[in-house]
Amino acid sequence: MSEHFDLITIGGGSGGVAASRRAAAHGARVALIESDALGGTCVHRGCVPKKLMMYAGQFRSAFDTAAAFGWTMENEQFHMETWQDAKNAELERLDKIYQQMLQSANVELINGLAQITGRGRVRVGARELSCTHLLIATGGRPSAAPIAGLEHAATSEDMLNSRTVPRRMAVVGAGYIGMEFASIFSRLGSEVSVFFRDHSPLRGFDHDLRIRLSQALERAGLTLYAGSNMESLTRSGNGYLLQVRGKEPMAFDAVLNATGRIPNTENLGLQSIGLELGPGAAIPVNDYSATVVPGVYAVGDVTNRKNLTPLAIAEGRAFADTVFGGLDIPFQATEVATAVFTEPSIGTVGLTENDAAQQGALIIYEADFRPMATAFAQRSDRTYMKLVVDAASDRVLGIHMIGNDAPEIIQSLAVSLRAGVTKRQFDQTIAIHPTTAEEFVLMREPARRVPAGKTTFPP
């Protein structure tokens, strides 16, 4: 005889946990099934350990700058194994917190692999479960581009679990994962080369950010191979040989496959309920996270909509409030702020210049400068800020920044963008001096005007 639940959630990542807790708060009987540690990709294989590693890398710049401010710095050394042990202890602490949250919310946690066996039926080991509603929140995993031998490369998870810093490291792919790891390991001491097909890294971001990130990383000593056609990767002793069309094979101690991620939809038993997958093996859903199969929903990276942890959480809560809370909350990911934790870091919200120009004429405002601390230390690091403004309404359509603290600054400005802020309101805001963020309210003269429909930069 099966145990019945109002909701069974498969996947204990950010979206699954958020949805389960919210559904239980509405009075639902909820079971959450997870075969690994709680927290999913973000906590164990992504956001959290990556940013902890980023902090470790940032000390290099801090040490380099400290001397200009009167500090004597000698014999600085980084020990990856020490960082690794501390990171693992922190992730274990977070896993326990997730367990406590589910217990406090009266969500039953079931450890094991879930197998969907039919409409409203799930098996976990010897347990047969049934449910009124099923939520799939199984996340994603690294994919591999069709490059011979790339399956031998390390994934981002492998690099986060490494106990050594490679002397020579190649990164294949220039999305945000590739650029973040390239930046981090360069700061930790690796000689880093990045290979990608496009003209600049971070496809889909505003062109001015992409160009300035390339310039900053090259100043920091990274080598960027734009327009590369990777042909093969082979093992060579304890290292690798990467073959790029038109070049001699290049040797590396480590190679990171950062060519993208795909949804975790294999071996779930989706065929038993007649759920067909969409492009890229993603689960198609509507604005309510509902699939075409009645009673079956999906949130987070498994839907491959916009793969960000806060979005998965918001999707999960909107689902629970609608299905169990009696509310009507469709979820649409608009005006979502995004950060890239490179050095310098990037923060962005709203439309790029190219995308905004398709909606009407624009006025572009820019600031490009050396912040006080770097200027004082006679360093070349720069900060760039950009406002994309609708010429007809004066409304700000996009806010972009690359430089120290960009994610923190853009997070605050994202609120104003969603509220419909105008450039005049930026101008009327009194600056806090001396700060970097004040430059956003001090831009007075337009950098350029863009006619409607004009594509200023290559895509």
Q: What is the set of active-site residues?
A: 433
- Determine the Cα–Cα distance for residues 190 and 168; give it in Å rounded to an integer: 6
Q: Which tokens hold the place of 439? A: 């430059």
- Determine the Cα–Cα distance for residues 103 and 110; give it in Å rounded to an integer: 12
User: Which position has the token pair 């490494």?
Assistant: 162
Q: Would you mind telling me the total number of residues written for the chain in this entry?
A: 459
- Determine the Cα–Cα distance for residues 181 and 4; give it in Å rounded to an integer: 44
Those residues whose C-beta lies under 8 Å from the C-beta of residue 101, and which sit 6 or more positions away, are: 17, 21
Those residues whose C-beta lies under 8 Å from the C-beta of residue 114, and which sit 6 or more positions away, are: 8, 10, 33, 35, 122, 123, 124, 268
Tell me what percent of the chain is helix, strand and coil, each rounded to the nearest 5: 35, 25, 40
Would you say the C-alpha torsion 99, 105, 106, 111 has a positive or negative sign?
Answer: negative
Of 431, 438, 358, the closest CA to residue 401 belongs to 438
Straight-line distance from the first to the last Cα atom of the chain, in angstroms, rounded to the nearest whole number: 57
User: Which position has the token pair 């994919």?
Assistant: 143
Partners of residue 235 on adjacent β-strands: 240
Contact 283, 275 (CB under 8 A): yes
